[in-house]
């Protein structure tokens, strides 16, 4: 099979995304995930993946029947555990996950220094019976991704927020996708506009990187998931900085 440079990236439209994120569509799976997430009592701080964002992961993973996840950036473990639980509660899945971070957040000294708690990602995964299918790799994504042999259905990018690194992460991820795979970005601010008045400081890298990706690959588009059908937990709003990277349907933007 001849593959383009964007590899196996799934074609998705905004309509597809809206249908996947209908509140009722994956609700049962989400309730199971949420109950287990709540029990873990992970540290609260800015910059972590919210409950509303973990709900998005669950709906995408269940709705698109995805079984393998690559995560770049685990730190507090909110997204790591949310993604792993979404896989765990997907029936019939041959689940598998790899999580990369340049810092070893499973090292108790690192985690305690940052969060004053012992909720390291590996420990949290043990508590929710997900450890058996999650592998951690400590290293820079730009070095680790080109060497990875596995392929994935879902890549979540929340590592470095520098434009050139996000760009490298997206381009490297294209080659790592299984057929129908998708990429999800965190901290994507469309047109570099802040989303919350009390949080004017934004990460520019993910947006700027995608401008470059779409210049190189006009068949790709990025869909901000701003205005979720549910409240995004720690912000009393429906806004989110998650965005899905997909192939345009029929080569056109919707």
Supply the minimum distance, in Å, between the C-beta of residue 219 and ligand SAM: 27
Three-state DSSP class for 246? strand
In this chain, which of 160, 173, 224, 240 binds ligand SAM, going by CB under 6 A? 160
Bridge partners for 220 per DSSP: 247
Is 81 an interacting residue with respect to ligand SAM (CB under 6 A)? no
**Nearest distance from residue 246's CB to ligand SAM, in Å?**
21
74 forms part of the interface with ligand SAM (CB under 6 A): yes
Q: Whole-number minimum distance, CB 113 to ligand SAM, in Å?
A: 13
Q: Is 79 in the site for ligand SAM (CB under 6 A)?
A: yes
Rule CB under 6 A: is residue 75 a binding residue for ligand SAM? Answer: yes
Cα diameter, the chain: 51
DSSP string, 58-113: HHHHHHTT--EEEEE--TTSHHHHHHHHHHHTSTT---EEEEEESS-TTSHHHHHH
Shortest Å distance, C-beta 76 to ligand SAM: 4
**72 interacts with ligand SAM by CB under 6 A:** yes
Single out the residue of 167, 150, 162 nearest to residue 222, CA to CA. 167
173 belongs to the binding site for ligand SAM (CB under 6 A): no
Is the Cβ of residue 16 or residue 158 nearer to ligand SAM in the bound state? 158
> Among residue numbers 21 through 50, which ones bind ligand SAM (CB under 6 A)?
47-49
Query: CB of 120 within 8 A of CB of 106?
Result: yes
Minimum CB separation from ligand SAM for residue 252, in Å?
Answer: 32
Ranges of H-type helices in 185-237: 205-216
Beta strands at 220-224 and 243-247: parallel, antiparallel or unpaired = antiparallel
**Does the protein bind ligand SAM through residue 56 (CB under 6 A)?**
no
Site for ligand SAM in 95-114 (CB under 6 A): 100-103
3-state secondary structure of 55: helix
Total residue length of the chain: 254
Task: State the number of binding residues for ligand SAM (CB under 6 A).
Answer: 21
Would you count residue 172 as binding ligand SAM (CB under 6 A)? no
- Which is closer to ligand SAM, CB of 93 or CB of 167? 167
CA distance 193 to 82: 27
Cα separation, 208 vs 190, whole angstroms? 9
Cα 247 from Cα 10, distance rounded (Å) = 6
Single residue of 73, 181, 205, 206 touching ligand SAM by CB under 6 A: 73
Q: Is there binding between residue 13 and ligand SAM (CB under 6 A)?
A: no
CB 85 within 8 A of CB 123: no
Using CB under 6 A as the binding rule, whether residue 203 contacts ligand SAM is answered as: no
Residues that bind ligand SAM (CB under 6 A): 47-49, 72-76, 78-79, 100-103, 140-142, 158-160, 165
């Amino acid at each position: 099979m001849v593959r383009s440079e964007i590899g196996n990236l799934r074609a998705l439209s905004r309509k597809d995304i809206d249908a996947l994120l209908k509140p009722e569509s994956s609700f049962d799976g989400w309730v199971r995930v949420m109950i287990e997430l709540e029990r873990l009592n992970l540290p609260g701080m800015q910059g972590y993946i919210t409950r509303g964002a973990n709900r998005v992961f669950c709906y995408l993973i269940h709705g698109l029947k995805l079984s393998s996840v690559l995560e770049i950036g685990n730190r507090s473990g909110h997204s790591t555990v949310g993604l792993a639980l979404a896989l765990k509660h997907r029936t019939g899945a041959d689940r598998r996950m790899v999580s990369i971070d340049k810092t070893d957040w499973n090292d108790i000294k690192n985690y305690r220094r940052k969060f004053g708690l012992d909720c390291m990602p590996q420990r949290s995964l043990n508590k929710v019976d997900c450890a058996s299918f999650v592998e951690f790799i400590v290293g820079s994504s730009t070095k680790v991704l080109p060497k990875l042999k596995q392929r994935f259905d879902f890549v979540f990018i929340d590592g470095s927020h520098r434009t050139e690194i996000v760009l490298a992460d997206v381009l490297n991820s294209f080659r790592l996708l299984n057929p129908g795979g998708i990429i999800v970005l965190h901290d994507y601010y469309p047109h570099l506009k802040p989303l919350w008045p009390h949080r004017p400081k934004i990460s520019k890298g993910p947006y700027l990187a995608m401008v470059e990706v779409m210049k190189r690959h006009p068949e790709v588009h990025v869909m901000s998931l701003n205005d979720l059908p549910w409240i995004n937990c720690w912000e009393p709003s429906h806004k989110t900085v998650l965005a899905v990277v997909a192939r345009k349907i029929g080569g056109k933007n919707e």
